[in-house]
Amino acid sequence: MRCQRCQKEASVHLTEQIQGQRRELHLCQACARKAGLSLPESPPNLALDAVVQSLIVAHVGELVGELAESTCPDCGIKFMEFRAAARLGCPQDYRVFSAGLLPLLQRYHGATRHVGKVARRHEGAGQQLRLRTQLRAAIAREDYEEAARLRDRLRLKDSQA
């Protein structure tokens, strides 16, 4: 954009709306000062790392430390994987990720304690979940013998249930 007064490069851009009419003004720094606008002496610090950090804090909070790296010992999900998928891996995750979950639960549900229906529990659900997690990991490693063994154990558990 060019300055509307002297045709130099414009660095000050103003937009105002008066009675439904939109008016734009583009000025260079010298013309802006002559027009009586107060300008900062130096431009604001817009370092990329500072901008990215502020976005992370705005959307994730102060989770860049221990919580972001924490992993559930039962299902193996990391907290940041939960944040990306918005799905927990097992009941143990509520305890492991409590520091990050409690503020989310408070914001979404208005409470941090469950009041309502209780799911029926069946024996071996935790072990079955671990087997499924191990099966996915074996497939990802391309360890097909281990994957077949885990698949067979899962089928055996399903037939017994």
- Which residue range forms the structural domain that includes residue 149? 125-160
77 domain-assigned: yes
115 domain-assigned: no
- Which pLDDT score, from 0 to 100, does residue 117 have? 64
pTM attached to this predicted model: 0.35
Q: Are residues 31 and 75 in the same domain?
A: no
15 domain-assigned: yes
- Which pLDDT score, from 0 to 100, does residue 29 have? 85
22 domain-assigned: yes
Q: What is the pLDDT of residues 91-112, one digit of tens each?
A: 888 888 888 888 877 887 777 7
Q: Are residues 31 and 74 in the same domain?
A: no
Q: Are residues 103 and 135 in the same domain?
A: no
Q: Are residues 105 and 78 in the same domain?
A: yes
116 domain-assigned: no
114 domain-assigned: no
Q: Are residues 56 and 105 in the same domain?
A: yes
89 domain-assigned: yes
**Radius of gyration for the alpha carbons in the chain, expressed in angstroms and rounded:** 28
Q: What is the pLDDT of residues 114-154, one digit of tens each?
A: 766 665 666 666 778 888 899 999 999 999 999 999 999 98
Structurally, the chain folds into a number of domains equal to 3
